[in-house]
Amino acid sequence: MAGKRAFELVRGRTATPRHSTKETPMHQTDIKVRGYHLDLYGHVNNARYLEFLEEARWAYFDVHTDLYGFMQTGLAFVVVNINISYRRPALMNEILTVDTSVRDVGNRSAVIRQVIRLQGSDTVVAEADVTFVLFDSKQNRAVTIEGEIRALMDRLAAED
């Protein structure tokens, strides 16, 4: 009953989309490309995109949950797979917008869809499906996504 322990710790705040269209994901994070993100070829190193995605996921859950309180329960969302496709190089001083949304929620895992675009355009730089599990540190294993956590994840998936 891992989800039940987090009952009062997970809040269901709704983020406001930057644009009011249904096609726009509910959460967007902007990241400016800095010199330390670049490789020898002058574009963002492939490994840095994983950091951009992680930053956007933290921001997403920060908006939708009491992240600190959630972490105090001994539960954590742990990434077990990232499938990323690189579409266009990102360059110095470009501003990237990372769209983050919950795509699927299963019994023991869920998938977050993330798309990185050039800010203010439809130009896709990279896109990824990130699979995670709910990990219980006290049991040292992944546990079923249930209770209030399941309700939250289902609501987020429906809104996105």
Q: Which residues are catalytic?
A: 39
Cβ–Cβ < 8 Å for 14, 159: yes
Provide CB contacts within 8 A for 132, sequence distance 6+: 77, 78, 79, 80, 109, 110, 111, 112
Residue 24, classed as helix, strand or coil, is: coil
Cβ–Cβ < 8 Å for 147, 2: yes
Q: Which amino acid is at 148?
A: E
Classify residue 160 by burial, with Cβ atoms within 10 Å: 0-12, 13-18, 19+: middle
First to last CA, the chain: 26
How many CA atoms lie less than 13 Å away from 56 in the CB half-sphere?
30
